[in-house]
Amino acid sequence: MTPVRTTIVVSGTVLVVLYAQLMYVVTQILTPLSTVPGRTLGQIAVAAEAVGEPVFTPHAVALPLIGVALAAAVLVAAIMFPVFRTEWVALAYLALLVCGLPAYLGVAFGVGMSLGDLGDVLPIDGSDSEVGLVLMSTSFVACFLAIGVGAGILVHRAGRGVGKLAAFRPAR
């Protein structure tokens, strides 16, 4: 593998894994603690189970793990099959980061609604962790980078047909 491809594969995998970990930490630790200040996660879980609200759900674990599994699949494909161009590998990692935003919003919405419904049982502050903005910003930057990489791929593909025109020289 070329150094550029190695850098893209390593940094892409690390970014997706960090994104997934931060998604879990924000939705399952920081949001409940900032919404119900002064309570522990155990107290929040007991109150949520008593009322029947699914604050701590398997989706919050499954969705980040799916992202990590897809990043590992891109990693293996990039190493095992050099036929995949480096630009496509970068685009795959950027797409995973972009798709992390709907997954985060889905999990965060469910957790937030469940925490909001605990207002009868626990004193709800109503605040949310601002760390989720890091995830949103990362996805937006990845979206713009994906557009740039996609445009670069299109320009590169369009440039392949220009080879015949290179021999043409205008008269002076």
Q: List pLDDT tens digits, range 8-29.
A: 999 999 999 999 999 999 999 9
Q: List pLDDT tens digits, range 75-111.
A: 999 999 988 899 999 999 999 999 999 999 999 888 8
Q: Confirm whether 167 is domain-assigned.
A: no
User: Of 30 and 158, which is predicted with more confidence?
Assistant: 30
> What's residue 38's pLDDT?
84
C-alpha to C-alpha distances, 25 to 12, 18, 118, 148, 151, nearest whole angstrom: 20, 10, 20, 30, 34
Calculate the dihedral angle through the C-alpha atoms of 13, 153, 137, 118, rounding to the nearest 10 degrees.
-70
Q: Confirm whether 169 is domain-assigned.
A: no
Band of residue 117 on the pLDDT scale cut at 50, 70, 90: confident
pTM listed for this prediction: 0.84
Q: Confirm whether 90 is domain-assigned.
A: yes
**Average pLDDT score over residue span 134-159:** 91
Q: How far apart are CA 63 and CA 124, in angstroms?
A: 27
Q: Confirm whether 165 is domain-assigned.
A: no
Q: Confirm whether 168 is domain-assigned.
A: no
Q: Confirm whether 52 is domain-assigned.
A: yes
| CA-based nearest residue to 120, from 73, 59, 51 | 51
Domain containing residue 76: 3-160
- Chain center to CA of 83: 26
Question: Is the pLDDT reported for residue 7 higher than 80?
Answer: yes
> What's residue 140's pLDDT?
97
Q: List pLDDT tens digits, range 43-81.
A: 988 888 888 888 888 889 999 999 999 999 999 999 999
Question: Is the pLDDT reported for residue 168 higher than 70?
Answer: no
Q: Confirm whether 31 is domain-assigned.
A: yes
Buried b (16+ CB within 10 A) or exposed e, 3-38: eebeebbeebbebbeebbebbbebbbebbbebbbee
Structural domain tally of the chain?
Answer: 1
> What's residue 12's pLDDT?
96
**Average pLDDT score over residue span 115-128:** 69
Task: Decide: helix, strand or coil at residue 122.
Answer: coil
Asked if residues 34 and 109 have their Cβ atoms less than 8 Å apart, the reply is: no
Q: Confirm whether 166 is domain-assigned.
A: no
User: Residue 56: CB partners within 8 Å, gap ≥ 6?
Assistant: 28, 45, 48
In this predicted structure, which of 84-88, 102-106, 123-127, 167-171 has the lowest mean pLDDT? 167-171
DSSP calls for 29-47: IIHHHHHSTT--HHHHHHH
